[in-house]
Chain A
Amino acid sequence: MKIAVTVNGERYERDVEPRTLLAYFLREDLGLTGTHVGCDSSSCGCCVVAMDGDRAVKSCTMFAVQADGHEITTVEGLEQGGKLHPLQQAFWDQHGLQCGYCTPGMLMTSYVLLKHQPAPNEAEIREAIAGNLCRCTGYQNIVKAIQQASTELAAEPAAAAVGS
């Protein structure tokens, strides 16, 4: 089936089998391997991408055909003009990652969170990332990183927008 998807601002037209999961479409058809897969039950959140800029979705629980006509932002789309997104910078600054496998999904969930809720408190952050598992960090530094990014985005609101 033919689909047209805009990913990180670039339009792609591809022919896909209906059963191709969006995560594998991104990884294998488009070579965007930052989106990871860690389970089969929609539990771990390693595959989270942003859809139409305002919705965090688990791309392994969605078919590529469903993304037809939509805009997808993946972790590769966060950095703009050679400048890291404040979330990327904050995860680095706050030691919010170790093995790095959950990081892309965690970043994309946080990216959408900050669009809806620019200044979340710790409890709200912990709730918002509860669909993303991390086995390395114990989450504490991830929470700190999201708080740092939230503060920075408040100082420069233009940085919040990516791609669109």
Chain B
Amino acid sequence: MATTTDDLPARHSLGKSMKRKEDPRFIRGKGRYLDDIVLPHMLYLALVHSPYPHARIKSIDKSKALALPGVKAVITGEDLDAAKLEWLPTFHGYDKQMVLAFGKALYQYQEVAGVVATSREIASDGAELVEVEYEPLDPLVTPFQAREDKIILRDDRESKTNHIYHWEVGDKAKAEGELDGSAVRIKERILSPRCHPAPLEPCGVLADMNKATGRLTVYMTSQAPHVHRTAFSLVTGIPEDKIHVISPDVGGGFGNKVPVYPGYVVATVASVIIGVPVKWVESRTENLTTTGFARDYHMDVEIGATKEGKVTALKVSTVADHGAFDAAADPRKYPAGMFGIVTGSYDFPTAFAEVDAYFTNKAPGGIAYRCSFRVTEASFAIERGMDILARKLDMDPVELRRRNFIKKEQFPYPSPLGFVYDSGDYEATTQKALDIIGYDELRKEQAEKRKSGELMGIGVSTFTEIVGAGPGKHFDILGIKMFDSAEIRIHPTGSGIVRAGTRHQGQGHETTWAQIVAEELGLDPQELLVEEGDTDTAPYGLGTYASRSTPVAGGALALAARRIREKGKKIAAHLLEASENDVEWKDYKFNLKGVPGKSVTMKEVAFAAYTNPPPDSEPGLEATYYYDPPNLTFPNGSYIAVVDVDRETGAVIVRRFLAVDDCGVVINPMIVEGQIHGGLTEGFAMAFMQEIAFDESGNNLNTNFTEYLVPTALETPHWETANTVTPSPHHPIGAKGVGESPNVGSPQAFVNAVMDALAPLGITHIDMPLTREKVWRAIRDAEAKVS
């Protein structure tokens, strides 16, 4: 049963909008980001990039660069190859990635050489002096060109094809049979365009090889420091105990800081060779042109339905553009991530999804940009598809959705594509959204406006997210199961330190992790210090991305705290001079059953753990928990956008936007709301402006912030938010994760609204981003058809 946050019983710490504990340093300019770290005698790395999307490298002449005073080393692919460091494994292990272009450059801006110098400026000067002779080759710019295999991109691979993999799920024959037999059927090619997370802090590394101790310290902008430590060990052969990865404050990640990039490797190699620290911080251009892009899925979406609007089958066939290497950050068993969530919130009797991925002359990536492995693409496909179906049925898009929602009594719901949805009340979440926005009134207003030719649109998205990977039996990175971990130490005076295997980048873990532990132990969250990101101190974890921190590490934290409580109970019994069986944890303290007022607090227990432990027990009060979740969690939301379209210019004004989210139990409503505002803004950006596009020759057209447009305060709409609470039945505190829902759920609400506005002109679909020109062109073409 969905409830609002207000209906929940009063809690000690959970559900409170506690101000963030990390903020005092940030508002004073005292955060410590990668580029803020300075080590004595540090050198700087600058990279040389290929101007061509596809070219044979005929020669590289380092001599002029090496002659420049201040230049200490120039490193090429040949040098790395000699050291057997030229290739990096990709996360799922099916491909490998060149560190520096060797033999051929495979995309524009690919890293070709590295110059190490005494200052950033001299490193840049040196990079200009590296002379590379190229022989340009014809590029593969689209996956459809690549599919023809006329040009083979990867000489290094045994199979001479650009086809990387075919992946499918569901019953193809049955789905196609049902589609053929459907009374009503739609089919649309829907693109989720290539875009880039572009966190404001660029990626970077500071590698520090200490030859005296043989220990390599790597400061890096990392969302997953432990995985990166393991990766560095595997690539370099340095034993893992000799590698120390520190991810300092991270200025936004959004998936961009999950992969290992060539600059990290080159800086590390340089430090190992030269024996002094080497720093590399990418420029914005390097960020946009070489590091992990997202999406680039061309999806053919087919839905069958009865005349009454009951869906009968779904088939989605996708062509994916992976760039020059298959570096998509997806788990081994799921090369297309969680794309199987494409049936969305709807009870499809049968479904089939397939993805064919291809190499092209573009930067590698396919990272989960503020989404849980291809969920943004899947969610966009189904929510657009449902709108197109509603149009064909001449049915209100909300009504069509309601007729097909998975009902709350159907949970746990096994989907036709293999997931078991944990919980949800889609009808209640949607009803709340309709009530707040005044849906019926808006439809009336729209009908009036249409009479005078005004283009007003209302778009809905009633999406289901899938987050929180593990479970480990299904999901891994480099073979490492996707569990996460927590370690709690309670000090004698009742304060403590909490460490987790995650690494926040603005999500507020220093606050919310303290709230979870404080809730479990009845302690003061202000006195629980949270620490993440240092592999020497934090327990091994898989990191923060794919909305997995709360579903996985959040579970580990609660369960580690419960271990503390178990031990605390023994100590409490000792203090209360009672048997453990007579002590119960209630109202955030240990009580002697049946004796009102006879109780001890966790603070008292903590002191006793060090000063007066029970005679037969270990002193101290700490616990560790490695949590492998039994299932994923499935947050959902009902979003409604209201837009007005300027017929003459194609400009879209987002008049209102409401997000009603259900992310289960809320830890900190203020932080959840902040996450939603941010995710909606990135969804808005994807819908209207963000795209990494290429011209016919394979040149990247969006290489800096004057070309790759991200929203400012001026364009960004005012966001309205609300929530319902359907706890996750399997999560220790019932939470589901929220950081990515607004990004996954919102693009289709905007696009559906614009298509709704353009419905009188017979326009069904325009691919994102909905630039003014694209909308204007569609209107003009439609008007030409009419007249």
Shortest CB-to-CB span from A28 to chain B, Å, is 7
Task: Determine the main DSSP class of A at the interface with B.
Answer: loop
Choose from A27, A102, A136 the contact partner of B36 (Cβ within 8 Å). A27
Contact status A140-B29, CB under 8 Å = no
Choose from A24, A103, A133, A141 the contact partner of B712 (Cβ within 8 Å). A133
25 contacts between A and B (CB under 8 A): A33-B29, A36-B201, A36-B251, A37-B35, A38-B251, A38-B284, A39-B704, A40-B704, A43-B704, A44-B284, A46-B200, A75-B28, A79-B28, A84-B27, A98-B506, A101-B33, A101-B252, A129-B713, A132-B712, A136-B506, A137-B674, A139-B681, A139-B712, A140-B677, A142-B713
Taking the complex as formed, is A127 at the interface, i.e. its CB lies under 8 A from any CB of chain B? Answer: yes
Shortest CB-to-CB span from A122 to chain B, Å, is 8
> B32 — which chain A residues lie within 8 A by C-beta?
33
Taking the complex as formed, is B537 at the interface, i.e. its CB lies under 8 A from any CB of chain A? Answer: no
Interface residues of A in 120-148 (CB under 8 A from B): 125-127, 129-143
Scan B638-676; emit 1 where CB is below 8 A from any A CB, else 0: 000000000000000000000000000000001101110
Determine the distance from Cα of A162 to Cα of B29 in the docked complex, in whole angstroms.
16
* Given contact pairs A34-B29, A44-B705, a sample of 6 additional A-B residue pairs in the complex whose CB atoms are under 8 Å apart: A92-B20, A98-B678, A100-B26, A129-B713, A136-B506, A141-B677
Determine the distance from Cα of A141 to Cα of B678 in the docked complex, in whole angstroms.
10
Taking the complex as formed, is A35 at the interface, i.e. its CB lies under 8 A from any CB of chain B? Answer: yes
Contact status A138-B716, CB under 8 Å = yes
Contact status B26-A143, CB under 8 Å = no
> B678 — which chain A residues lie within 8 A by C-beta?
98, 135-138
Taking the complex as formed, is A56 at the interface, i.e. its CB lies under 8 A from any CB of chain B? Answer: no
Scan B158-192; emit 1 where CB is below 8 A from any A CB, else 0: 00000000000000000000000000000000000
Contact status B200-A133, CB under 8 Å = yes
Taking the complex as formed, is B523 at the interface, i.e. its CB lies under 8 A from any CB of chain A? Answer: no
Choose from A75, A92, A135, A138 the contact partner of B200 (Cβ within 8 Å). A135
Taking the complex as formed, is B614 at the interface, i.e. its CB lies under 8 A from any CB of chain A? Answer: no
> B198 — which chain A residues lie within 8 A by C-beta?
135
Choose from B28, B283, B680, B704 the contact partner of A76 (Cβ within 8 Å). B28
Determine the distance from Cα of A24 to Cα of B119 in the docked complex, in whole angstroms.
11
Contact status B681-A99, CB under 8 Å = no
Determine the distance from Cα of A44 to Cα of B285 in the docked complex, in whole angstroms.
13
Contact status A107-B27, CB under 8 Å = yes
Taking the complex as formed, is A97 at the interface, i.e. its CB lies under 8 A from any CB of chain B? Answer: yes
Contact status A100-B31, CB under 8 Å = yes
Taking the complex as formed, is B710 at the interface, i.e. its CB lies under 8 A from any CB of chain A? Answer: yes
With contacts A38-B202, A101-B251, A130-B714 taken as known, whether A138 is within 8 angstroms of B680 at the C-beta atoms is yes
Determine the distance from Cα of A132 to Cα of B27 in the docked complex, in whole angstroms.
16
Choose from A74, A88, A139 the contact partner of B27 (Cβ within 8 Å). A88
Taking the complex as formed, is B254 at the interface, i.e. its CB lies under 8 A from any CB of chain A? Answer: yes
Shortest CB-to-CB span from B708 to chain A, Å, is 9
Residue of B nearest to A125 (CB): B713
With contacts A84-B27, A95-B674 taken as known, whether A40 is within 8 angstroms of B283 at the C-beta atoms is yes
Contact status A40-B285, CB under 8 Å = yes
Contact status B284-A41, CB under 8 Å = yes
Contact status A38-B19, CB under 8 Å = no
Determine the distance from Cα of A40 to Cα of B674 in the docked complex, in whole angstroms.
28
Taking the complex as formed, is B89 at the interface, i.e. its CB lies under 8 A from any CB of chain A? Answer: no
With contacts A40-B285, A40-B704, A98-B678 taken as known, whether A126 is within 8 angstroms of B20 at the C-beta atoms is no
Considering residues B26, B30, B249, which has the most beta carbons from chain A within 10 angstroms of its beta carbon?
B26
Contact status A139-B716, CB under 8 Å = yes
Choose from A28, A39, A89, A141 the contact partner of B674 (Cβ within 8 Å). A141
> A78 — which chain B residues lie within 8 A by C-beta?
28
Contact status A133-B36, CB under 8 Å = no
Taking the complex as formed, is A54 at the interface, i.e. its CB lies under 8 A from any CB of chain B? Answer: no
With contacts A92-B23, A125-B713, A133-B200 taken as known, whether A138 is within 8 angstroms of B719 at the C-beta atoms is yes
Taking the complex as formed, is B121 at the interface, i.e. its CB lies under 8 A from any CB of chain A? Answer: yes
With contacts A39-B284, A135-B254, A138-B716 taken as known, whether A91 is within 8 angstroms of B29 at the C-beta atoms is no
| A-B pairs, 6 with minimum CB distance | A34-B29, A101-B251, A99-B506, A100-B26, A138-B677, A98-B506
Determine the distance from Cα of A61 to Cα of B25 in the docked complex, in whole angstroms.
26
Scan A74-90; emit 1 where CB is below 8 A from any B CB, else 0: 11101100001000110
Determine the distance from Cα of A98 to Cα of B254 in the docked complex, in whole angstroms.
12
Determine the distance from Cα of A88 to Cα of B252 in the docked complex, in whole angstroms.
20
Determine the distance from Cα of A164 to Cα of B564 in the docked complex, in whole angstroms.
53
Contact status B201-A95, CB under 8 Å = no
Scan A18-49; emit 1 where CB is below 8 A from any B CB, else 0: 01100010011000111111111101101000
Determine the distance from Cα of A27 to Cα of B638 in the docked complex, in whole angstroms.
45
Shortest CB-to-CB span from A11 to chain B, Å, is 20
Taking the complex as formed, is A17 at the interface, i.e. its CB lies under 8 A from any CB of chain B? Answer: yes
Taking the complex as formed, is A93 at the interface, i.e. its CB lies under 8 A from any CB of chain B? Answer: yes
Shortest CB-to-CB span from B605 to chain A, Å, is 33
Choose from A35, A36, A46, A93 the contact partner of B19 (Cβ within 8 Å). A93
> B202 — which chain A residues lie within 8 A by C-beta?
38
Contact status A100-B251, CB under 8 Å = yes
> A125 — which chain B residues lie within 8 A by C-beta?
713
> A95 — which chain B residues lie within 8 A by C-beta?
19-20, 670-671, 673-674
Choose from A41, A91, A103, A141 the contact partner of B706 (Cβ within 8 Å). A41
Choose from B705, B713, B718 the contact partner of A130 (Cβ within 8 Å). B713
Contact status B24-A137, CB under 8 Å = no
Determine the distance from Cα of A141 to Cα of B718 in the docked complex, in whole angstroms.
10
Taking the complex as formed, is B230 at the interface, i.e. its CB lies under 8 A from any CB of chain A? Answer: no
> A74 — which chain B residues lie within 8 A by C-beta?
29
Contact status A98-B508, CB under 8 Å = yes
Choose from A35, A44, A88, A98 the contact partner of B28 (Cβ within 8 Å). A88
Determine the distance from Cα of A133 to Cα of B706 in the docked complex, in whole angstroms.
12
> A127 — which chain B residues lie within 8 A by C-beta?
713-714
Scan A100-120; emit 1 where CB is below 8 A from any B CB, else 0: 111110010000000000000
> B285 — which chain A residues lie within 8 A by C-beta?
40
Shortest CB-to-CB span from A137 to chain B, Å, is 6
Taking the complex as formed, is B682 at the interface, i.e. its CB lies under 8 A from any CB of chain A? Answer: yes
Determine the distance from Cα of A74 to Cα of B254 in the docked complex, in whole angstroms.
28
